[in-house]
Amino acid sequence: MLETKLLSFTQQHLTEAGTIIRQGGLVAFPTETVYGLGANALDANAVSDVFRAKGRPSDNPLIVHVYCKEQIYEIANSVSDDALKVIDHLMPGSVTIVLPKKADVVPDCVTAGLATVAVRMPLSQEARQFLQYCKVPVAAPSANTSTRPSPTTWQAVNEDMSGKIDAILCGKACDVGIESTVLDLTSDTPRILRPGIVTASQIEAIIGKSVVVITNPKEKVNSPGVRYKHYAPKCDMVLNLDGDIAKLCNYYDQCVEKGQKPVLLVQDVAKYGNRQCYPLGETDEQVAHNLFAALRHCEKRYDIIIASYTGKGEVADSVINRITKSAGQKII
Ligand code: TXA
Ligand code: MG
């Protein structure tokens, strides 16, 4: 067991966080999407410790986080015209781009043996400060135990990682709440491997060509992470996507009859009488912001989460991508 230090954003603590990273340790840190679990991306031993702390399969590659655009050229072998446009217009931000990697610089364990590397430059001031103090590119998956909901607060990181990592930089709750859009730019056709708050239409408007969104996880994909059990709360969970209130109430009542303690995780809590409800948020952005924190809240208090979400559109699709996996595809 390690003693996990809780650090704040003072100069002294940021210096300490940077030193831990350069000495091969692990530091969790906030970004505007979710909290990341950082290690020096150029240190294979430190990166192996990230996989161990999370219980993450070694064939699922990590995103390398950079502070400035120059750092991208240190780890990527080539930057296409499409990539240049995305870098100019959307970075820093909530998008990750997959580029051909510099094989002699980025260790194989970071990229799970792929010839490509995923690169992200986060936007949040806190993430940028941390990366600046690290002075090296930082490999970081979401800072949750593998298969659990991603952490959007330092307390959620602490639940999963206390005793397993050197430090947590305790910053604000994450604004976006779901992970970055992963955009593969290694071929002529840009492809979204994981949807997020940065949408296909935004990217199309910037690079001037159509972007393929990979939606079916059974299709052959180049992003190994989309294959695994993901985002699951510790309690049972089912999901409804058509907003049929009578069906949801009926499902809830049957759970109560069976002696279970259910909760309705819904957008409009006023519609369910005196049944236990937890607000999911009204707009799609609010739902994205709340989702993972809501799952972690409810799993501690209830036996089963009965979720309902009826959002439509590109941001909604990225929420549906997460919430469907959280429910283990159990649709009612
Ligand atoms: O918002 C985010 O992206 C957060 C913060 C911390 O930056 N990070 C994050 O990392 O969500 P993680 O490891 O939980 O998810 C990374 C995703 C996985 O689906 C992984 O398979 C994919 O990115 N990925 C990483 N490197 C890749 C590569 N070279 N080619 C294709 N997909 C890659
Ligand atoms: Mg993750």
Q: Tens digit of pLDDT for each residue in 287-301?
A: 999 999 999 999 999
Pairing type for strands 27-29 and 167-169 reads parallel
Give the type of residue at 233. P
Q: Tens digit of pLDDT for each residue in 35-74?
A: 999 999 999 999 999 999 999 999 999 999 999 999 999 9
Q: Which residues surround ligand 2, an ion (CB under 5 A)?
A: 142
Name the nearest CA neighbour of 176 among 322, 20, 57.
322
pLDDT-based confidence at residue 1 (cuts at 50, 70, 90): confident
Spatial contact of 100 and 186, defined as CB atoms under 8 Å apart: yes
Instruction: Assign 308 to helix, strand or coil.
Output: strand
* pLDDT: which is higher, 228 or 120: 120
Separation between Cα atoms, residue 267 and residue 253, nearest integer Å: 19
- Exposed/middle/buried for 286, CB within 10 Å: 0-12, 13-18, 19+? middle
Owner of token pair 């194989």: 108
Separation between Cα atoms, residue 308 and residue 280, nearest integer Å: 9
CA-CA distances (angstroms) from residue 6 to 17, 142, 144, 311? Answer: 10, 18, 16, 37
Beta carbon of 198 within 6 Å of any ligand 1 atom = no
CA 39 distance to own-chain centroid: 16
Instruction: Look at residue 222 in the predicted model and tell me its pLDDT.
Output: 52
Beta carbon of 181 within 6 Å of any ligand 1 atom = no
Beta carbon of 33 within 6 Å of any ligand 1 atom = yes
Separation between Cα atoms, residue 258 and residue 81, nearest integer Å: 59
Separation between Cα atoms, residue 65 and residue 75, nearest integer Å: 11
Q: Give, for ligand 1, the residue of 63, 94, 175, 198 to mutate: max count of ligand atoms closer than 8 Å to Cβ.
A: 63
Instruction: Look at residue 226 in the predicted model and tell me its pLDDT.
Output: 53
Q: Tens digit of pLDDT for each residue in 14-43?
A: 999 999 999 999 999 999 999 999 999 999
Beta carbon of 56 within 6 Å of any ligand 1 atom = no
User: Residue 250 carries which DSSP code?
Assistant: H
Taking the CA atoms of 21, 26, 27 and 31 in sequence, report the sign of the dihedral they define: positive
Question: What's the number of CA atoms in the CB half-sphere (13 Å) around residue 56?
Answer: 31
Separation between Cα atoms, residue 309 and residue 1, nearest integer Å: 40
| pTM as predicted | 0.96
Beta carbon of 235 within 6 Å of any ligand 1 atom = no
Separation between Cα atoms, residue 235 and residue 156, nearest integer Å: 16
Over its C-alpha atoms, the chain yields an Rg (Å, rounded) of 20
Closest atom of ligand 1 to 116 CA is 29
Residues facing 264 on adjacent strands: 277, 306
Name the nearest CA neighbour of 122 among 63, 66, 198, 194.
66
Separation between Cα atoms, residue 245 and residue 265, nearest integer Å: 12
* pLDDT: which is higher, 226 or 106: 106
- Report whether pLDDT(142) > 70: yes
pLDDT-based confidence at residue 219 (cuts at 50, 70, 90): very low
Spatial contact of 115 and 61, defined as CB atoms under 8 Å apart: no
Ligand 2 center–CA 150 separation, angstroms: 6
Spatial contact of 144 and 156, defined as CB atoms under 8 Å apart: yes
The pLDDT of 121-127, averaged and rounded, is: 98
- Looking at the chain, the whole-number percentage of residues with pLDDT higher than 70 is 96
Ligand 1 center–CA 292 separation, angstroms: 17
Instruction: Look at residue 250 in the predicted model and tell me its pLDDT.
Output: 98
Q: Tens digit of pLDDT for each residue in 176-214?
A: 999 999 999 999 999 999 999 999 999 999 999 999 999
Instruction: Look at residue 215 in the predicted model and tell me its pLDDT.
Output: 76
- Report whether pLDDT(223) > 80: no
H-helix or E-strand containing 200? helix 200-207
Beta carbon of 224 within 6 Å of any ligand 1 atom = yes
Ligand 1 center–CA 11 separation, angstroms: 29
- Report whether pLDDT(265) > 70: yes
